[in-house]
Structure 1
Amino acid sequence: MVQRLYRSESNICIAGVCGGIGEYLNIDPVIVRLLWAVFTVLFPGGILIYILACLIIPIKENNVKTKVNITSEKDVEDETNTVKDEKDVVNVKIE
């Protein structure tokens, strides 16, 4: 399996470039961010390179496309009732 460079979705500060580089190199993304900051201070072209990296490096997409945000027990109960109601509708249609 070929390892590819992606922008990170989990280690993100601005656009996930340093997080993605850290994941690719298997090092802490904070170290990459610090090195990038030093590089940008010493060579002002670092900002332009970061912008280009944002445009060139693709975002790593997870297999999970939707996220569920349940905030209270009432929400859980409502979701459970909705599933039960939908199951009843399916059972009626099958019969």
Structure 2
Amino acid sequence: MNTEKRLYRSRNALVGGVCAGVAEYFSFDPLVARILTVAFTLSTAGLFAVAYVALWVILPLAPNE
């Protein structure tokens, strides 16, 4: 059995699945990840949004269970 923990975009997604995937990886609520994403995006004048889009493109979608 493969117990290796991998970072994926979540299928339980509102926009791209990045926030939900990060929340699942670190075992916390996806709402917290979404709030932090908005806060970081506003505080960095949109630069964090570029990182979000990059993760959206780079991270694979979680496999079906």
Please, what TM-score do these two structures have when normalized by structure 1? 0.63
How many residue pairs are counted as aligned between the two chains? 62
| Gap regions ≥5 residues in structure 1 | 64-95
For the residue of structure 2 that corresponds to 1:22, the secondary structure is: helix
Identical columns (%): 34
The one of the two structures with greater contact order (alpha-carbon pairs below 8 A, sep at least 6) is 2
When Rg is computed on C-alpha atoms for both structures, the one with the higher figure is: 1
CA distance in 2, matches of 1:46, 1:14: 15
CA distance in 2, matches of 1:61, 1:48: 25
Select 1:48's aligned residue among 50, 53, 59: 50
Paired position in structure 2 for 1:18: 19
Which runs of 4 or more aligned residues in structure 1 lie more than 3 Å from their structure 2 counterparts after TM superposition?
Answer: none
| Gap regions ≥5 residues in structure 2 | none
Q: CA deviation at 1:46?
A: 1.1
